[in-house]
Amino acid sequence: MTLPTIGKVLKARYQIVQSLGAGVFGQTYIAVDVDHPRNPKCVVKQLKVSSSLPSYIETLRLRFLTETETLIQLGHHSQIPELIACFEEDERFYLVQEFIEGHSLSAELPVQRDLNYLWSEGEVISFLEDVLNILEFIHARGVIHCDLKPENLIRRISDNKLVLIDFGSIQPIDFGIDAELPIYRIPVTSLGYIPPEQFIGQTKPNSDIYALGMIAIQALTGLTPLQLKIDPESNEIIWRSKETVVSDYLAAIISQMICYDHNQRFQSAPEVLQVLQQIPAEARKPTVIQPNYSAFYEDLIENERESSSSKPSILTGIKFGLAANSLVMGLGVYSLVQNSPGYVGKEAVYKATEEFQSGDLDRAVALMRSIPNSSKVYSEAQNTIDEWENEWKIAAKQYQAAETALNQKKWSEAIQAANLIPDILYWQSKSDKLVEQAKAKIETQTQNLLNKAYKQAESKNFGTALEYLSQIPAENSTGSLVQQKLAEYKQKRDIRSVHLLQQAYNQAEKKRFDIALKFLRQVPKNSSAYPTAQVKLMEYEEKQGSQTTKDNSVSSKVSSKFSSKIESLQPEESVPQKSTTQFNHFQPGDFLQEINI
């Protein structure tokens, strides 16, 4: 896949200014709209194209146009980026979306079991309701996000609301006829948030609900999905412990959101919202309700008995067995959950994926090969082995290239090589350290070059200042400032060049060609006046030469007359030697005033 380079302008309008990295569906960039007076930022995504066959391209084109119509409709929601444009260029397909200024939710989530950073129950409820309202909107339009994770939820600066980005609604475009999600193409950051059924092509609207529940667990526990344990008998995730401060009500809701069997989960976003809205107002306060297992168990049984009551239960919609399961999960007791035949072998796939991502390729391959050929995922697992081995070789090669570039002080090359490392957690974690070092060096280099540019600009040497700015690596964190200074110094360089050219004209008019030439030689290269300055440079050098020849001719005449005058003053033989000696001490300047040229 041919990728746009930094600075390239797509569709004669969208100039690429920064790469945001690659994902399952393609490469993503930040661009500026050069056709707009304010040059606003936007997000450009180039979709992956896996074949150059005309039939494939035509099929892809039709599906691309169909799917983008859906994205246009989704953009009507205030918490979903607007689709600005979609176009094809050189048989490459691009989406242009609204740029959301803010930070990802991953910046807000706790990274460890630290009570000072864990979210309160009220915060989790508010978060769930906020995102569920977005999911209700997209599911009603026949779209499943398919990649809900903290990195795809942006906290917008303007109003502090969460915005859902990077939709997987265009997933079929890249996956072709087979709707199953290839394991080897799962982004590292998506692992743990993707539910089991999504691996075997049975994605449901409540697959997004599963992912949302996993994020809520991370907020409450400080543990990422891959850090959580799975019960070997029920396949349910063990997330609640004595250290987890959460009420029984909310714990039961979340547990049903992340149930292994999608048939046992909430079936829709409105269903979860309805249950959340029945939670007492005091539970929404920052102060978290302490767990009371026995009281919850008694209330639950009582609610089941009072099913005929007109007042809905707080846990309406939550199946008793599952609620009880979440109730005692922290005590090590589990309810029975039937394993679907379609999931045979999925446990091995999960474990193999974890081993692969953690760095044990041999163990991962062995687990994949242990899957029986009767399993629905057998064929996919065998194909994945080849893909993993190939990805591993590429990762090792790119890491070595990045390490070599870093040792050679080629910081940009090190980052570029690291960016080409496939989504393997083991290799990416290793390369992150290299990238961090390279970026630190680039920042130091950038600051030094900026200081040099500022110093030259103060001396009005804008051409030299621009040379320093052009040496700043594209991977620097002050890209907008560099671009701003480039534009500013180019303008000032052109103004300065015109000024120097005018000074040269003024001096030439007074026949002071030597001074005029000095001004012309100061006109910076690449400036607007530089071509004219070069023409005038040749012209004035020629005129200066003619003037020098003329001056030499006049000087010759002066010298001749001066010599004649000297000869007329030579002493006769009768003049005493003493007088002759006196004439030997004359100064030529003593007689210049007598010479009339």
- What is the CATH superfamily name and number for domain 102-343? Transferase(Phosphotransferase) domain 1 (1.10.510.10)
Mean pLDDT score, 268-272: 94
pLDDT digits (tens, 9 = 90+) for 345-389: 666 776 787 788 788 899 888 888 888 887 777 877 788 888 889
Q: How far apart are CA 360 and CA 30, in angstroms?
A: 35
pLDDT value of residue 295: 39
Across 193-201, average pLDDT: 83
pLDDT band at 285 (very low <50, low <70, confident <90, very high): low
Q: Give tens-digit pLDDT for 97-150.
A: 999 988 989 888 887 665 567 898 999 999 999 999 999 999 888 888 888 999
Give the bridge partners for 15, in sequence order. 9, 32
Instruction: Give, in order, the Cα–Cα distances in Å from 125 to each of 119, 121, 225, 264.
Output: 10, 6, 19, 21
Give pLDDT, residue 133: 95
Phi, psi of 95 (to 5 degrees): -115, 135
Give the confidence band of 343 by pLDDT, cuts at 50, 70, 90.
very low
The predicted-structure confidence for 500-544, as pLDDT tens digits, reads as follows 889 999 998 888 888 989 999 988 888 888 899 899 889 888 888
- Which tokens hold the place of 461? 């040497």
| pLDDT higher than 60, residue 567 | no
pLDDT of 80 > 90? The answer is yes
Q: Is the dihedral of CA 532, 538, 544, 550 positive or negative?
A: negative
**pLDDT above 70 as % of the chain:** 73
Residue 330: how many other CB atoms lie within 10 Å: 18
- Residue 143 has a pLDDT of 85
Identity at 487, one-letter amino acid code = A
Dist CA 478 CA 496 (whole Å): 26
The mean pLDDT value of the chain amounts to: 75
For residue 319, the model assigns a pLDDT of 32
22 falls in which pLDDT band (50, 70, 90)? low
What pLDDT digit, counting tens, does each position of 421-465 carry? 887 878 878 888 888 888 888 888 888 888 888 888 888 888 888
What is the rounded CA–CA span in Å between residue 343 and residue 38? 53
In the predicted structure, residue 404 carries a pLDDT above the cut 90: yes
Q: Where in the chain is the domain with CATH 1.10.510.10?
A: 102-343
pLDDT at 216 over 70: yes
Distance separating alpha carbons of residues 447 and 449, to the nearest angstrom: 5
pLDDT at residue 554 in the model: 58
Burial class of residue 49, CB neighbours in 10 A (0-12, 13-18, 19+): middle
CATH 3.30.200.20 residue window(s) in the chain: 9-98
Round to the nearest angstrom and report the end-to-end CA distance of the chain: 81
For position 426, what pLDDT does the model report?
86
Amino acid, single-letter form, for residue 20: L
Catalytic residues: 147
Pick out the residues of the known binding site for ATP: 45
> Under 8 Å CB-to-CB from 136, ≥6 apart: which residues?
268, 269, 270, 273
Which CATH architecture best describes the domain 9-98? 2-Layer Sandwich (3.30)
488 neighbors 468 (Cβ within 8 angstroms): no
**pLDDT tens digits, 234-264:** 889 999 887 788 888 899 999 999 999 999 9
Binding-site entries: 45
Q: Tell me: pLDDT of 267 over 70.
A: yes
Q: Per-residue pLDDT for 57 more than 70?
A: yes
Asked whether the beta carbons of 199 and 180 are under 8 A apart, the reply is yes
**Helix 378-407 to helix 425-458 angle, to the nearest 10 degrees?**
40
